């Protein structure tokens, strides 16, 4: 796909009440079969927060609220398909059971997620979200 502007996306770093990380397995290329954070492209007329929550629902079946901004990731090479800028949010949910949907082959809360290979630059997003989570725990 050739276009003259970056695509906008939103991703979610989601932890449940037990500290498990929500991950999907990608159904499609690029990174087919890899673990990834739930997320996807924004639609015209929607806010980034709304897009993140919509994508979370579409890919995992989970309803959430109160997304907290982790960061903006804009490296032109972060997505091999085209220049994609993503806005990433930290979200906490109760103990719920996800169900894969949309372009996720599977969705699950993973307990031993540290060190897993993640698609795109999702490992950096996760590191940044962990810093934010630690600040929030300290009341900052």
- State mean pLDDT over 101-114: 88
Query: Are 70 and 89 within 8 A, CB to CB?
Result: yes
In a domain, 1, yes or no: no
Among candidate residues 23, 31, 40, 32, the one with its CA nearest the CA of residue 106: 23
CATH number at residue 18: 3.90.79.10
In a domain, 32, yes or no: yes
In tens, the pLDDT along 38-95 reads: 999 999 999 999 999 999 999 999 999 999 999 999 999 999 999 999 999 999 999 8
Phi, psi of 53 (to 5 degrees): -70, -35
In a domain, 14, yes or no: yes
In a domain, 55, yes or no: yes
| pTM of the entire predicted model | 0.93
Query: Are 38 and 60 within 8 A, CB to CB?
Result: yes
User: Domain of 131?
Assistant: 7-137
Based on the structure, what is the number of domains in the chain? Answer: 1
């Amino acid at each position: 796909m050739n276009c003259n502007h970056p695509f906008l996306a939103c991703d979610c770093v989601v932890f449940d009440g037990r500290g498990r990380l929500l991950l999907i397995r990608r159904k499609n290329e690029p990174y087919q079969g890899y673990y990834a954070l739930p997320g996807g492209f924004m639609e015209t007329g929607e806010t980034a927060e709304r897009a993140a929550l919509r994508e979370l629902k579409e890919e995992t079946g989970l309803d959430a609220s109160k997304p907290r901004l982790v960061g903006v990731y804009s490296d032109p090479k972060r997505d091999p398909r085209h220049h994609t800028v993503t806005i990433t949010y930290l979200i906490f949910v109760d103990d719920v059971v996800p169900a894969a949907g949309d372009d996720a082959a599977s969705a699950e809360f993973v307990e031993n997620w540290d060190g897993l290979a993640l698609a795109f630059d999702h490992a950096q997003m996760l590191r940044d979200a962990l810093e934010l989570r630690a600040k929030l725990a300290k009341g900052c």
